[in-house]
Amino acid sequence: MTTPLVQVEDLTIDFGTVRAVDRLSFTLEAGAALGVVGESGSGKSASASALLGLHRGTGARVTGTVRVAGTDVGAADDAELRRLRGAKAAMVFQDPLSSLDPYYTVGDQIAEVYRVHNSVSRRAARARAVEVLDRVGIPDAARRARSRPHEFSGGMRQRALIAMALACEPRLIVADEPTTALDVTVQAQILDLLHDLRRETGMGLLLVTHDVGVAAESVDDVLVMQHGRAVERGPVAEVLGAPRQPYTRELLASVPRVDEKRAGVPGPRTATEAGPLIEAVGLRREFGRGAGRVTAVDGVSLTVHAGETLGIVGESGSGKTTLGRMLVRLIDPTAGRLRYGGTDIGSLPERELRPFRRELQMVFQDPVASLNPRRSIGESVADPLRAAGETDEARIRDRVRELLERVGLDAGRYERHPHEFSGGQRQRIGIARVLAAEPKLIVCDEPVSALDVTTQAQVISLLAELQRELGIGLVFIAHDLAVVRQVSDRVAVMRQGRIVEQGVADDVYGSPRDPYTRQLLAAVPALDPVRAAARRAARRELAAA
């Protein structure tokens, strides 16, 4: 019997009084792949860092034993630990931009790491850097090695980080949310790359992710964590196909599926008789001047009816956020018309826009930045009421309490400040503030992308409920194709400032016409490993075509 590549026993990590990881034990055989899945605060990243002894010197208390590739991480001295890091076990971090030094070229950084573990000349180390950059699929690697990180795209940076991990031929790669900051098509490429590398080099992989789909695509075994503890472990098909623990079942039930029809809605309800609530014709927005001018939104036309949800999907830089902000006139259109209730509000000056302001509302992405940290949440929610001229304090209070309860919050927390609430709760507060304005149209810009899946599901169902109740028009902007499908009657797919495809949700998802839409859909990770393999093959075909 061979010793496992990774052996973790009774690992406990405390940050001050907070216990991040609680008596975690697991093993990983050489060459195997384990996915650690959990929501934020589950301790999955802290556990991954412990494999390389990265908690040393940070004030965190680590107990239990961790053995990686023959090194006892807890007992090893600093020099021994350094020999483990990068050479035997290498880490790939989440945010590829901040994970590289902005001042040095990518090639130099990889060469530096290589020289730490191998006594070779600078020139040989650079050659090795070019070699691994080429291996991870960076075109013209010899030239690109001389570029600095900010000259790379997000996907290229993540490839460069993986190249750095490969440089010393480690036996284990620890990948901490390696694709979270990336677009779905790029995510698929990176996951495919990791898959291929593992097959070729036979190294072990420990993949930490919040996204069950990502794990399903890439690993053999999966370990579900919650509150610092292991909930369930087993082969990926078993755990995801027939979960035994209630938490795993809840987690899986919350994950939106891209291939399932929207639940509980009797088909699209496009109300045509009343005419559209808002209509955009040839909407266009440019930023910057002269040579630096970019067109963020390039001639977009769309309509939204009362009681209807229009989903807008697109990757980063597609212009979806700019479009959303133009719809509520937070950003002024450069050209095009925006008709609302018979008025072209696209070019109205701020003063004349006042009467329309409150009817067009927005739910923002970042639940931290969308509430003023220095004001109580009750005051924030009361804003639209006061702006509407309500002066009776008692009436304002009553109405705010009512709204807080409506979105599922305790009305008694009126005086509390935003930092006392969780991300999901803050998003509910944002929704309460929007409702206080009694809007006709709500634009939701990535309203759930900063939330865990279970919270995500709750916020989405709240939005759907409110829409049914109040008959408002909803524009739902997101990068996540599955989420959009679960909320939308109609869907618009955006790319480079244009809408490439628009139609009834089930039609767009069921039989996409535009090649870009097809590419997007093929890139969405599947929960079922068998189907994931099929998708991978489909992606290869699309790429080859």
Give the residues lining the site for other proteins (CB under 8 A).
15-18, 20, 40-41, 46, 52, 54, 58-60, 81-87, 90-91, 93, 95, 98-104, 109, 112-113, 116-117, 148, 150, 161, 164, 325, 328, 330, 354, 357-358, 360-362, 364-366, 369-375, 380, 383-384, 386-388, 417, 419, 430, 433, 437
Nearer to other proteins, 180 or 270 (CB): 180
Cβ closest to other proteins, residue 126 vs residue 325: 325
CB atoms within 10 A of CB 346: 20
| Nearest to other proteins of 199, 419 (CB atom) | 419
Residue 104 to residue 101: CA distance in whole angstroms = 6
Please state the closest distance from residue 174 (CB atom) to other proteins, in A: 9
Let me know: does 211 contact 184? Beta carbons within 8 Å. Answer: no
> Whole-angstrom Cα distance, residue 339 to residue 76?
68
Least Å distance between CB 536 and other proteins? 29
Minimum CB–partner distance for residue 379 and other proteins (Å)? 9
Q: Is residue 207 within 8 Å of 37, Cβ to Cβ?
A: no
Q: What angle do CA 48, 53, 54 make, to 5 degrees?
A: 75
Nearer to other proteins, 438 or 507 (CB): 438
Strands of 369-487 (E only): list them.
441-445, 473-478
Least Å distance, CB 263 to other proteins, is 30
Which is nearer to other proteins, 150 or 199 (by Cβ)? 150
d(CA 35, CA 403): 41
Q: How far is the CB of 417 from other proteins (least distance, A)?
A: 5
Closest approach of Cβ 269 to other proteins, in Å?
27
Q: Which residues of 285-296 are buried (b: 16+ CB within 10 A; e: fewer)?
A: beeeeeeeeebb
**Do the Cβ atoms of 520 and 492 come closer than 8 Å?**
no
CA 182 to chain centre: 8
What is the distance of C-alpha 460 from the center of its chain? 16
HSE, CB side, 13 Å, CA atoms: give it for residue 142.
Answer: 2
Tell me the closest approach of the beta carbon of residue 259 to other proteins, in angstroms.
Answer: 33
* Nearer of residues 266 and 373 to other proteins, judged by Cβ: 373
Q: How far is the CB of 339 from other proteins (least distance, A)?
A: 19
The CB-of-357 to other proteins minimum distance in angstroms stands at 4
Q: Which is nearer to other proteins, 221 or 359 (CB)?
A: 359
As measured in angstroms, the least distance from the Cβ of 354 to other proteins is 6
Cα 38 from chain centre? 14
- Sheet strands (E) in 29-60: 33-38
Nearest to 158 by CA among 214, 95, 90: 95
Nearer to other proteins, 88 or 144 (CB): 88
Question: Which of residues 90 and 125 has its CB atom nearest to other proteins in the complex?
Answer: 90
Tokens describing residue 543: 């790429």
> In terms of CB distance, is 18 or 253 closer to other proteins?
18
Q: What is the DSSP letter of 171?
A: S
Strand-pair category, 221-226 with 33-38: parallel
Q: Which is nearer to other proteins, 46 or 302 (CB)?
A: 46
* DSSP code per residue over 250-305: HHHHHS--TTSPPTT--S-----TT--SEEEEEEEEEES-GGG-EEEEEEEEEEE-
**Which of 133-140's residues contact partners 24+ apart within 8 Å by CB, and which partners?**
133/106, 133/107, 133/159, 133/160, 133/163, 135/163, 135/166, 135/197, 136/160, 136/162, 136/163, 136/166, 136/193, 136/197, 137/189, 137/193, 138/163
Q: Least separation, in Å, of the C-beta of 290 and other proteins? A: 9
Q: How far is the CB of 161 from other proteins (least distance, A)?
A: 8
Q: How far apart are CA 446 and CA 18, in angstroms?
A: 30
Nearer to other proteins, 425 or 517 (CB): 425
Residue with tokens 């021994």: 80
Neighbour order of strands in the sheet with 278-287: 294-304, 278-287, 335-340, 343-344
